[in-house]
Amino acid sequence: MTASNPVSLSRAEGTVLDALAKLKKRVNVIELVETLGLDQATIFGASTSLAEKDLISIRESEEKYARLTEEGMIRSKVGLPERIVIDYLVQKKGGNSEFDSLKHDLHLADDEATLALGWLKRKNWANTTKEAGKLYLRSTSKPQKGPDEEMITKLSTVSEITLSSLDQEQKIEAESLLKRNLIHVATRKSRTLEITDVGLEAVRRGVVVVEEVTQLTPDMIRSGEWKKAKFKTFDVSASAEPTFIAKYHPIVELIEEVREIFLELGFEEIKGNLVESAFWNFDALFQPQDHPAREMHDTFYLTSPSKAKLPDQSIVKRVAQTHEDGWETGSTGWGYRWSKDIARQVILRTHTTATTIKYLASHPNPPVKVFSIDRVYRNEKVNYKHLAEFHQIEGIIMDKDASLADLMGILKEFYNRLGFEKVRFWPSYFPYTEPSAEAVVYIERKNTGENGKESDVGRWLELGGMGIFRPEVTLPLGIKYPVLAWGQGLERLFMIRTEGVDIRTPYKNELNWLRTIPEMQ
């Protein structure tokens, strides 16, 4: 660059340089967005090229900033629960009232009321007494707007606050708002700019603004105009405002993916009832009536209706007899007295095998190749890896010469398509299949040790049950050919895919989590 030639810049570069020359101090790109009316990406791009010409200097750092969550946004309008209660108590109740009546008057939900009570005490705005078994609330002061409320109000107008701009006390407040899920904190790259002496000198001499071309058109190529044009450069590493586009819920995505695989493998989808008789869920599958899985701690029983219809008499009779002495299946049965009443109990299905077996009973002719992805219920204590309501994936194949080798082949293909390269089968047990097996897949994981060497810390994980339905299951239903079957939980697959996300998380509808979780496929 010679001293006599004015620098030529793009319009955005010129605007940014001008602004920096006037400000003569280090400024954040965010502030320039507001003052210049240019978007962040444009300023980022312009500043990168200005810095390359030594006209400005850039400093980059990570910056944490807080924004209101959805809940915070609502609270900024209606007030915190403790504020709603205290205002009503002081203004309408003379500072003293029974808590239940306040709760009723203000239409507070139980958890909201508990929250309000906790914070009223913590903030020393009110105290409680118990009289004749009733809880009374008495205000202790006329509470001023607290620093937490100030911060919420501020955030509702400025939309975000950088954490580094907060003093020690405000930081503590932010911490508490974070715990109450009223704000969330995110990190982004922050960039500050300052004009250099070279830049100041350039501005003093005057810069030439050259219009930049953002799009190359056929016309420009034909006329040769492109040779003279100055093309806009894009800084693809510039950070920009995150945008949250609409997308499917990750569980729905996974269901879709599994459905696609089944369809590609030539299966047809079936749907069945969530509410089913014990007959189809257990008896038809040769599970004895005193089987532990039927007990109250595993199965949800309905009290209304309390009795289900059973299928055709002849089917029921054959199933009953098979349980008792094996009927004509070649088995000796379980050797107990089968009860119709137990079979008529109404339950929420505990597995989708209830649906596939019922389907087979009404489609006894080969070939049958169907699948189901649907909800099942088990009376389980909910924790990070167990849900009481979840999904099962289930497939069956009935054909004249279907064999265990076919089942292993198709399952290997099925799991390969789901992304598991190594698949094995271990012997297992189910009351309705023989042989029975468990499909296990290898989960790859590598560890880099201190010496920089990679070691394999992957492991084999059981994914699902499989087998060939026993004659005690098929013959009483009039099914004459081998039935290959397998089933597994969908959420288990989800946990593997997400490397151990708490199984309850996808069902909490936490917007931030849903927005940031990567696509499943």
Q: Based on the number of CB atoms within 10 Å of its own CB, is 405 exposed (0-12), middle (13-18) or buried (19 or more)?
A: exposed
Stretch that binds ligand PHE, among 244-252, 271-279, 464-472, 507-515 (CB under 6 A): 464-472
125 vs 486 by CB, closer to ligand PHE: 486
Residue 21 · residue 7 · CB < 8 Å: no
Stretch that binds ligand PHE, among 98-106, 185-193, 462-470, 490-498 (CB under 6 A): 462-470
Would you count residue 410 as binding ligand PHE (CB under 6 A)?
no
Residues found in the chain: 521
Residue 190 · residue 61 · CB < 8 Å: yes
> Tokens 């790109």 belong to which residue?
29
Q: Minimal distance in Å, beta carbon 260 to ligand PHE?
A: 21
Q: Minimal distance in Å, beta carbon 488 to ligand PHE?
A: 7
- CA–CA gap between residue 48 and residue 239 (Å, rounded): 12
Nearest to residue 496, comparing CAs of 467, 465, 459? 459
Total binding residues for ligand PHE by CB under 6 A?
Answer: 11
- CA–CA gap between residue 181 and residue 72 (Å, rounded): 7
Q: Minimal distance in Å, beta carbon 431 to ligand PHE?
A: 10
Nearest to residue 208, comparing CAs of 57, 18, 348, 352? 18
Sheet with 27-28, side-by-side order of all strands: 27-28, 183-195, 56-68, 161-162
- CA–CA gap between residue 418 and residue 412 (Å, rounded): 10
Kindly give the pairing relationship between strand 483-489 and strand 8-9: unpaired
Would you count residue 467 as binding ligand PHE (CB under 6 A)?
yes
Q: Minimal distance in Å, beta carbon 265 to ligand PHE?
A: 17
Would you count residue 433 as binding ligand PHE (CB under 6 A)?
yes
81 vs 464 by CB, closer to ligand PHE: 464
Exposure string over 436-454, b if 16+ CB within 10 A, otherwise e: bbbbbbbeeeeeeeeeeee
Residue 489 · residue 392 · CB < 8 Å: yes
Site string for ligand PHE, 343-382 (x = CB under 6 A): --------x-x-----------------------------
Stretch that binds ligand PHE, among 70-78, 181-189, 460-468, 471-479 (CB under 6 A): 460-468
Interactions with ligand PHE, residue window 482-521 (CB under 6 A): 485-487
Three-state secondary structure readout of 246-313: CCCCHHHHHHHHHHHHHHHCCCEECCCCCEEEHHHHCHHHCCCCCCHHHCCCCCCECCCCCECCCCCH
Stretch that binds ligand PHE, among 140-148, 156-164, 358-366, 481-489 (CB under 6 A): 481-489
Site string for ligand PHE, 380-409 (x = CB under 6 A): --------------x---------------
Dihedral sign computed on CA atoms, order 378, 379, 382, 388: positive
- CA–CA gap between residue 304 and residue 309 (Å, rounded): 13
14 vs 465 by CB, closer to ligand PHE: 465
Site string for ligand PHE, 224-243 (x = CB under 6 A): --------------------
Interactions with ligand PHE, residue window 75-104 (CB under 6 A): none
Exposure string over 94-110, b if 16+ CB within 10 A, otherwise e: ebebebeebbeebebee
29 vs 484 by CB, closer to ligand PHE: 484
Would you count residue 327 as binding ligand PHE (CB under 6 A)?
no
Q: Minimal distance in Å, beta carbon 518 to ligand PHE?
A: 29
Q: Minimal distance in Å, beta carbon 351 to ligand PHE?
A: 3
Would you count residue 465 as binding ligand PHE (CB under 6 A)?
yes
Q: Minimal distance in Å, beta carbon 339 to ligand PHE?
A: 23
14 vs 487 by CB, closer to ligand PHE: 487
Binding site for ligand PHE (CB under 6 A): 351, 353, 394, 430, 433, 465-467, 485-487
